[in-house]
Amino acid sequence: MLSHFPFRHIDRTQLNTVKEINTATEFVQIAGVLLSFETIGQKQGKRIVAELKDKTGVIELTWFQGLSWVQKLLQTGQSYLVYGRVSYFNNQPQIVHPEIELLQPEQSIAKKFLEPVYTTTEKLKAKGLGGRQIAKLTMALLQQIREKDIEENFPENILKQLKLINRFQAFCKIHFPENKDGYDAAVNRLKFEELFFAQLRMQLIKSKRHRSSKGVVFDKVGALFNTFYHSHLPFELTSAQKRVIKEIRNDTATGRQMNRLLQGDVGSGKTIVAVLIMLLAADNQFQSCLMAPTEILAQQHYNTIASLLEQMDVKVHLLTGSTKAAARKKILAELAEGELQILIGTHAVIEDVVKFKNLGLVIIDEQHRFGVAQRAKLWEKATIPPHILVMTATPIPRTLAMTAYGDLDYSIIDELPPGRIPITTVHRNESQRSKVMDFIKAEILKGRQIYIIFPLIEESAKLDYENLMKGYENVKAYFPEPKYWISMVHGKQPTEQKEINMKRFVTHDTQIMVSTTVIEVGVNVPNASVMIIESSEKFGLSQLHQLRGRVGRGADKSYCILITGSKLGNDARERINTMVTTASGFEIAEKDLQLRGPGEIDGTKQSGALNFKLASIVQDREILETAKNIAATILELDPELSSAGNLPLKNFLNQSGKRVIWSKIS
Ligand code: ADP
Ligand code: MG
């Protein structure tokens, strides 16, 4: 009951006069004498109209419902206290359905607190638990309990340091505050409590994992890593890449199992980080495996990595569903022998028949395509669980990452390699389509390739497919064969068909790719320089950003053209504006968080990690930062929370949460 917090309060600390009411007045509380009342009107219009007079004037009160109850209560000449919202009827102020109570002569008039308003449900109401009854019960409850009944869960010094009120006071004041300051103090304390214990719980899990679960040790930086680093790196690493590599090296050298999320915007250069870490593993006589969500991506990774490592004495193979039986047999044998150091592939690499001699590192690209169960299989592939690095280009705002992934190791590449030509993003509406087509023509003439993306929303799939087909016909009319060739890819095609069409675009046999969002993840066609997104108001921000990331990968100036209808809602307009003005994935993710709220992140749905009662990771980021830092400081000094001072924390954790936390990637 105490945790059923009011969603707002009404101010009953002030007594107003009739005279001070004006058109800006919202709620008033007035004490006065009832002059008259009468029942008027018929049927729906039947109502009671009364006049209440205070020292300064007269105001009208009106009831349309509960007439018999009102009739019983009202008596001319009596004093009443009324509260309600002022509205105007025929230019006269009135209060419709005011709260009203009889004033006893000796009663002090104004109440000493803000009155809480609670949410309730129809069913609760039917059982006599409407908002007012809940308020009464809560009041009664608070009158019966004492400070000792609500155990404090913070050590004294934290309360002092952060100037937090104690837990008992917080519960009293969030329900029945004397004033706004009291309410704010209560909310602040309870928000901090929520965020702090969530942080403490996650950091405990993380530090326990670090202390207890044994991991593979990569303590040597050997010949492979060094040779590649000094002689074969095709470019200077960015300082963000260097920092991340150092973070990973620090982890893997200690003998604790790494479970790390590596975040970096599209094109930030995660692949080279993966390569260097795999070489580090090989230097320490361990095998690595890199998994990609699709065959095309796995193939692309293989091509990139095999050519990077061409002059190195290290063996790399590709294993996918379409690897031929003979090649597969050879790969499996080499894996089991330990001859093959780096395996790149799709889901095929986690099949039971794939056995490693000594797997030490697993890298998962674009994690969200892999289910938790699939990842769990990786653990069984080695006696000591391998280090796991999950790479994702979907930026997650810092506050979200802290709350959802606070128990994981976490690295960010927040810098793009130098020399990228920024992508120009523009917004066009449908009436400007022919100009857009002319622009495409000019780009194709320069030898570039074009993406045209159509939305596919599950609820309107049929309509969306029709639009896609219409769009395809339309594009074809502008760009007829044999001068132009167009690929089309969508989810209803058989996989083979899809792959053929995709390949034709990759190999530049076609100049235009018309597609739904199936091409979203990872596809790399550096020659593509224009991304056109049709009905772009239907896409979410992060999806738009992912799509835009398909261009700007080569040496040429690239463009993203967002086409929308001419009428846009506010949110859609804001999304489009954000895209036009912002290139940073992290800024876009922040904006997305503001617009949509945290929603959920893959795999965190059941964890409740983001379900706070009071706190919001959008508005309360300062409290969240403080909570995180304080939790870290406490655990650093007392990792098991075994000191007497931290007993309240430990007790509260034990009582409150056997909640499951999404504690491991695999
Ligand atoms: P992503 O993080 O999206 O996986 P990639 O690893 O595919 O990015 O890198 C994108 C492109 O940037 C590749 O062509 C890669 O060779 C190049 N690249 C990566 N790091 C650097 C760097 N430090 N300097 C210059 N180019 C780089
Ligand atoms: Mg990548």
- Dump pLDDT digits (tens) for 539-558: 988 889 988 988 988 778 99
pLDDT for the residue 30: 92
Structure tokens at 303: 């091509």
Judged against a pLDDT cut of 70, whether residue 112 lies above it is answered with no
Query: What's the whole-number mean pLDDT along residues 251-274?
Result: 88
Kindly list the protein residues whose Cβ atom lies closer than 6 A to any atom of ligand 1.
235-238, 241, 264, 266-272, 393, 417
Nearest CA to ligand 1 atom 4: 270
Distance 562 CA to ligand 2 centre (A): 24
Query: What's the whole-number mean pLDDT along residues 624-649?
Result: 93
pLDDT for the residue 258: 87
Give the span between the Cα atoms of 528 and 561, in whole angstroms.
Answer: 13
Determine the atom of ligand 1 nearest the C-alpha atom of 268: 2
Determine the atom of ligand 1 nearest the C-alpha atom of 304: 16
Which of 192-196, 299-303, 392-396, 416-420 shows the lowest mean pLDDT across its residues?
392-396
Judged against a pLDDT cut of 70, whether residue 516 lies above it is answered with yes
Which of 11-20, 172-181, 320-329 shows the lowest mean pLDDT across its residues?
11-20
Which of 40-44, 417-421, 456-460 shows the lowest mean pLDDT across its residues?
456-460
Nearest CA to ligand 1 atom 16: 269
pLDDT for the residue 215: 83
Determine the atom of ligand 1 nearest the C-alpha atom of 522: 3
Contact criterion met (CB below 8 Å) for 588 and 642: no
The best mutation among 272, 275, 586 to test binding of ligand 1, ranked by most ligand atoms within 8 Å of the C-beta, falls on 272
Distance 525 CA to ligand 1 centre (A): 13
Smallest Cα–Cα separation from 101: which of 64, 134, 52?
Answer: 52
Indicate the pLDDT class of residue 371, thresholds 50, 70 and 90: low
Contact criterion met (CB below 8 Å) for 391 and 362: no
Indicate the pLDDT class of residue 605, thresholds 50, 70 and 90: very low
The set of residues, in sequence order, having a beta carbon less than 8 Å from that of 270 and lying 6+ positions away, is: 262, 264, 365, 391, 393, 413
Burial class (CB in 10 A: 0-12, 13-18, 19+), 665: buried
Judged against a pLDDT cut of 50, whether residue 665 lies above it is answered with no
Instruction: Report percent pLDDT > 90 for the chain.
Output: 54
Nearest CA to ligand 1 atom 25: 417
Distance 471 CA to ligand 2 centre (A): 30
pLDDT for the residue 367: 60
Query: What's the whole-number mean pLDDT along residues 310-334?
Result: 95
Determine the atom of ligand 1 nearest the C-alpha atom of 419: 25
pLDDT for the residue 623: 93
Distance 260 CA to ligand 1 centre (A): 20
Indicate the pLDDT class of residue 461, thresholds 50, 70 and 90: confident
Determine the atom of ligand 1 nearest the C-alpha atom of 272: 6
Indicate the pLDDT class of residue 606, thresholds 50, 70 and 90: very low
Nearest CA to ligand 1 atom 20: 269
Indicate the pLDDT class of residue 200, thresholds 50, 70 and 90: very high
Torsion angle, CA of 430/435/436/440, rounded to 10 degrees? 160
Judged against a pLDDT cut of 50, whether residue 174 lies above it is answered with yes
Residue matched to tokens 């007269």? 58
Determine the atom of ligand 1 nearest the C-alpha atom of 273: 6
Average pLDDT of the chain is 87
pLDDT for the residue 608: 47
pLDDT for the residue 631: 94
Which of 212-221, 530-539, 620-629 shows the lowest mean pLDDT across its residues?
212-221
**Which ligand lies nearest to the CA atom of residue 550 in the structure?**
1
Indicate the pLDDT class of residue 196, thresholds 50, 70 and 90: very high
pLDDT for the residue 664: 41
Distance 487 CA to ligand 1 centre (A): 27
Which of 255-259, 360-364, 506-510 shows the lowest mean pLDDT across its residues?
255-259
Residue 319, classed as helix, strand or coil, is strand
Instruction: Report percent pLDDT > 70 for the chain.
Output: 92
Structure tokens at 344: 């790149």
Contact criterion met (CB below 8 Å) for 403 and 610: yes
Indicate the pLDDT class of residue 602, thresholds 50, 70 and 90: very low
Judged against a pLDDT cut of 80, whether residue 149 lies above it is answered with yes
Q: Where are the alpha helices (DSSP H) in 492-646?
A: 495-506, 541-548, 570-581, 585-596, 621-637
Structure tokens at 279: 């070489």
Nearest CA to ligand 1 atom 5: 269
Nearest CA to ligand 1 atom 17: 269
